[in-house]
Amino acid sequence: MNSKTISLKLPALLLGSTLLLTACGGETTKGPAAPVAPGTVRVVADDSQDFAQDRYQVVAGQVRIEYVLDGFQVHTLVVEGFEEEMRLEVANGETEVGTLPLAAGRYVLYCDIPGHREAGMEAQLLVE
Ligand SMILES: [Cu+2]
């Protein structure tokens, strides 16, 4: 007759679980756009033929526009009424930057590729 006694010795591990709460003293900036320098507005587009936001805001003056494409299709960005002054064109994940002197007011950004503005590539730009 075989009698096996298996003895398992479990070392009593005292796991001191230390919960480290990091004091967060950072300031949370809530705004419509990703934090960029004043005077700069970052517009992100993708291949769903839409801008990431319907409204953008920037400080009046020499406005710097960063046009970021999160996609592959060719898209453009122009400001209504200023089509001759600035036209940004991106494809394949590119970023293009342009500047435009803008006084305070409301402007409209759009993509001038045929059909894109109608599909949703239009946004308001509030300059103040
Ligand atoms: Cu487009």
- Tell how far the Cα of 52 is from the centroid of ligand 1, in angstroms: 12
Protein residues placing their CB within 5 Å of the ion ligand 1: 75, 111, 113, 116, 121
- Tell how far the Cα of 96 is from the centroid of ligand 1, in angstroms: 14
Using pLDDT thresholds of 50, 70 and 90, give the confidence band for residue 38: confident
Q: What share of the chain is helix, strand, coil (3-state, %, to 5)?
A: 5, 40, 55
Higher pLDDT residue, 53 or 11? Answer: 53
- Tell how far the Cα of 93 is from the centroid of ligand 1, in angstroms: 13
The whole-model pTM stands at 0.72
pLDDT at 35: 66
Distance (Å, rounded) from C-alpha 92 to C-alpha 1? 77
Domain 40-127, CATH: 2.60.40.420
For residue range 70-87, what is the model confidence (pLDDT) as tens digits?
Answer: 999 999 999 999 999 999
In three-state form (DSSP H/G/I as H, E/B as E, the rest C), the secondary structure along 43-74 is: EEEECCCEECCCEEEECCEEEEEEEEEECCCC
